[in-house]
Amino acid sequence: MANTSTSTSLPFAPSRVFVHLTLISYLLLALLPILLVFMNSFKSRDAFFNDPLAWPTPETFSLIGYTKVLGRSDVLMYFGNSFIVTIASLFFILLFGAMAAWGLSEYRFKGNRWLKFFFAFGIMVPIRLGTVSILQLMVELNLVNTLTALVLVYVAQGLPLAIMILSEFMGQVPGELKDAARCDGIDEFRIFFQVVVPLIRPAIATVAVFTMVPIWNDLWFPLILAPSDKTQTITLGIQQFVGQYATDWNAVLASLSLAIVPVVTLYALFSRQLIRGITAGAVK
């Protein structure tokens, strides 16, 4: 099973063949489903039934799936909704999270510990369990079927982890920097925004990544709080679309591909930062 090596010389490493064989097998397992869907979304219906494993050829190539999807559903609007909700949530999570992290880690006051514990609780306990009451609250506030409801909930959901990670990093900002600034008479808000925040950029990036993905991919809250046609996010939109057009394979494949493309593209562009962020922040 898993052997490990320490030096460049072969006697200490498990067989190179084993290592690469295992890794490649899993690579195929990870990629194949996605590739299959993507490939076949560009084929005509008969073509992918007959020979699903083949690449689209000039004869079999067809965009019919895509035209159906773009024609029958408001895919672009769904993308827009997801975009707005994700970016807005991210902004507030980072802003309020950093401020709270600063307030909790920098200043000593009574109840500091309890507040930290209060927030930490939210990391382990899923917010979904309170949905019954959240929905009631949204009804009372007249926020059902609005993007605002989603933003509020996601911010509440993302704050605990953001605060924990950010306060860890803030704790590492050298005390002398802050003290020097205070000696110069700079006020606390300035210190926060202009000295501390720029120094913890890697932490902010890590938090952004950790938070963005679950928000973008979430099904539960859009389903429960904002299922109206105008406010559907892309995740919900795809789910409804596929549920509705279940047997219209072209459309289904095309819609899935459309949902995959933006994530894969962004990932391809930012994968190095993302993985660096996760491996750095995760060990804490």
Instruction: Give the shortest CB-203-to-other proteins separation in angstroms.
Output: 15
Residue 182 or 230: the one with the smaller Cβ distance to other proteins is: 182
- CB of 118: closest distance to other proteins in angstroms? 7
Lookup: tokens for 166: 């950010």
Beta bridge partners of 61: 43
| Residue 56 dihedral angles phi and psi, to the nearest 5° | -65, 130
Between 36 and 87, name the residue whose CB sits nearer to other proteins.
36
Using the minimum distance from each CB to other proteins, give the nearer residue, 11 or 58: 11
Q: How many CA atoms lie within 13 A of 266 on its CB side?
A: 9
Least Å distance, CB 87 to other proteins, is 17
Cα 81 to Cα 138: distance, rounded to the nearest angstrom: 19
Q: Cα torsion at 226, 228, 230, 234 (round to 10°)?
A: 60
The residue among 58 and 114 lying less far from other proteins, judged by its C-beta, is: 114
Q: Rounding to the nearest 10 degrees, give the CA dihedral for residues 179, 185, 187, 192.
A: -40
- Distance, C-alpha 69 to centroid of its chain: 24
In the complex, the smallest distance separating the C-beta of residue 141 from other proteins, rounded to whole angstroms, is 10
Nearer to other proteins, 1 or 59 (CB): 1
Closer by beta carbon to other proteins, 76 or else 139: 139
Minimum CB separation of residue 256 from other proteins in Å reads: 6
CB 200 within 8 A of CB 277: no
Partners of residue 43 on adjacent β-strands: 61
Angle at 274 (CA atoms; ends 268, 277), nearest 5 degrees: 165
217 contacts 82 by C-beta, under 8 angstroms: no
User: Could you give the CA distance from residue 208 to residue 39 in angstroms, rounded to a whole number?
Assistant: 31
Shortest gap between Cβ of 58 and other proteins (angstroms)?
Answer: 22
